[in-house]
Structure 1
Amino acid sequence: MFSSELLSLLVRSLAKGDDDRPWLMRLCEACVESLGAQGGAFTVSAGPGEWIAVSTPGGFEVLEPLQEVLGEGPMHQAMTEDRLVVTSLDSVVDDYPVFSQLAASAGGETTLYAAPMRAGGHVVGAFSLYVTDGAPPCGPEELQMLADATGATLLASADSLDWSESNLFQRAIGMVVAQLGVGPDDASAVMRARAFSRSTSLHSVAVDVLERRLTFGFDE
């Protein structure tokens, strides 16, 4: 499929979306539909610890939050190494052993493509694509082209995105820093560990910290 055809499919798919739904979710769903995939996700980053993540509804929507909680996975690798990552969800991967082991139960015979979204020479996020029936109807170069086009679009409209959840997490990190007297990275790791042990989201842990239902001490 040529790049122009792929972009035309994206535009037509986006035009069919419900205007009342968040624009970022509509864009994600349009990309997934245009590529004939079974699921997908966007993770947009404004810097360390600042992100927005959306996933298409379905069986794969738990996997992007799982990567957020664990701090590992194809999405992180794609953004950190600035390259397309392709992995099967039915096997354990040395680069992210915990995620791949847990994802196997949800993913089955699924291939995950994670492409860095670039804009202005920088990685601004990642586009994850879940495919259950073979390769997507485009090559790696076209998939990366779509990810970069999306990254440029998101960077241009960054001020209109909802960063409230990321800001909430940053405020919660500040409270854990004060409670434990540790750095932000360690406070983030403590919150991720708590989310994992509770089988819940970072958002839920952050809300509990901010509403003082959850405090951390060295005796835990």
Structure 2
Amino acid sequence: MAGRGALLTEFSARLRDAPRSVPVVDRLLHAFLHVMGADGGAVTVATGRADRTVLAASDPVAERLEEVQAVVQQGPTVEAVRTGQVVAAPREQLVTTWPLLGEAVTPVPHLVCAYPMRPESVVIGAISVYSAERAEGLRGPDAGLFLAGAVAASILGRAGDDGTDTDTDTDSLSWSSRDRVDHATGMVVAQLRVAPADALTVLRMHAFAEGRPLAEVARAVVERTLDFTHRTEDGTP
């Protein structure tokens, strides 16, 4: 697997390319699919066996696959949430093991993978992806598992100011820390040319990846020891 830093750098660059007119979760999914090399996918949260919500789907195929799994309670996403493990299902398995799922879309995708979102020890959902006709370009399971956890941490607004992973966001930080996070968010907006929500997402994902408090990552940005600027081969931003 590529280093976590390299994965997040690539993810941040893809996040910058995502349409700003769509919700944050859709932009996160857009970046995830590009980094993983998938044709489509969905983000699903699950707080119980029957309580599932699709937060974002890239296309009708991904949406249909999640809808059927919610009804029959079978399939890669269901298994990933249940086991906390990455589930890879080639076309043959979709057709034979989960026939209703295999019949949901035509043609059946070549491969469907589901990566559990577990920013801590609890699985809160999964990101599923599919390759329509080939799987050679799909990144390895470790990369998908790591990025799914980082996305979940961003969605939940985790990485609190006290060094522990909590369900807090910037509203629960001290005023000085909030100012620092706001300042750092503005700097990342300028560095990456992204929306403020996406800039905060980048900060949260790096806090998760490095196991550091959000305020500490923000401090590094403000003090210019951490820079998210990405440049092209000709040296231009």
1:87-136 Cα distance to aligned partner (Å, 9 max, x none): 11244243x34223x1463424x111111110221001011011232234
Question: Kindly tell me: are residues 123 and 93 of structure 1, through their superposed partners in 2, closer, same or farther at Cα, counting changes over 3 Å?
Answer: farther
Aligned equivalents of 1:145, 1:31: Cα separation in 2 = 11
1:80 aligned counterpart, secondary structure: helix
Q: 1:65 aligns with which of 52, 60, 67?
A: 67
Is the 2:64–2:105 Cα contact (8 Å) retained in structure 1?
no
Point out where structure 2 has 5 or more consecutive residues left out of the alignment.
159-166, 170-237
1:35-114 paired onto structure 2 within 5 Å:
35-53=36-54, 54-91=56-93, 92-94=95-97, 96-100=98-102, 102-103=103-104, 105-108=106-109, 110-114=110-114
Is the 2:61–2:105 Cα contact (8 Å) retained in structure 1?
no
Cα shift at 1:150: 1.4
RMSD of equivalent CA atoms = 2.4
For residue 17 of structure 2, what is the aligned residue in structure 1?
16
Question: Kindly tell me: are residues 137 and 89 of structure 1, through their superposed partners in 2, closer, same or farther at Cα, counting changes over 3 Å?
Answer: closer
Cα shift at 1:48: 4.4
Is the 1:85–1:115 Cα contact (8 Å) retained in structure 2?
yes
Cα shift at 1:2: 3.0
Is the 1:89–1:103 Cα contact (8 Å) retained in structure 2?
no
Cα shift at 1:72: 1.5
1:161-215 Cα distance to aligned partner (Å, 9 max, x none): xxxxxxxxxxxxxxxxxxxxxxxxxxxxxxxxxxxxxxxxxxxxxxxxxxxxxxx
Question: Kindly tell me: are residues 113 and 136 of structure 1, through their superposed partners in 2, closer, same or farther at Cα, counting changes over 3 Å?
Answer: farther
Question: Kindly tell me: are residues 76 and 137 of structure 1, through their superposed partners in 2, closer, same or farther at Cα, counting changes over 3 Å?
Answer: closer
Point out where structure 1 has 5 or more consecutive residues left out of the alignment.
161-220
Q: Normalising by the residue count of structure 2, what TM-score does the alignment of the two structures yield?
A: 0.59
Aligned equivalents of 1:83, 1:3: Cα separation in 2 = 19
For residue 134 of structure 1, what is the aligned residue in structure 2?
135
For residue 124 of structure 1, what is the aligned residue in structure 2?
124
Identity of aligned residues (%): 27
1:119 aligned counterpart, secondary structure: coil
Is the 1:90–1:107 Cα contact (8 Å) retained in structure 2?
no
For residue 193 of structure 1, what is the aligned residue in structure 2?
none
From the two aligned structures, give the one with the greater strand fraction.
Answer: 1
Cα shift at 1:46: 3.2
For residue 188 of structure 1, what is the aligned residue in structure 2?
none
For residue 146 of structure 2, what is the aligned residue in structure 1?
145
Aligned equivalents of 1:2, 1:119: Cα separation in 2 = 18
1:10 aligned counterpart, secondary structure: helix
Letter in 2 for 1:57: D
1:45-87 Cα distance to aligned partner (Å, 9 max, x none): 2344433212102544321112122222110011001111111
Letter in 1 for 2:87: V
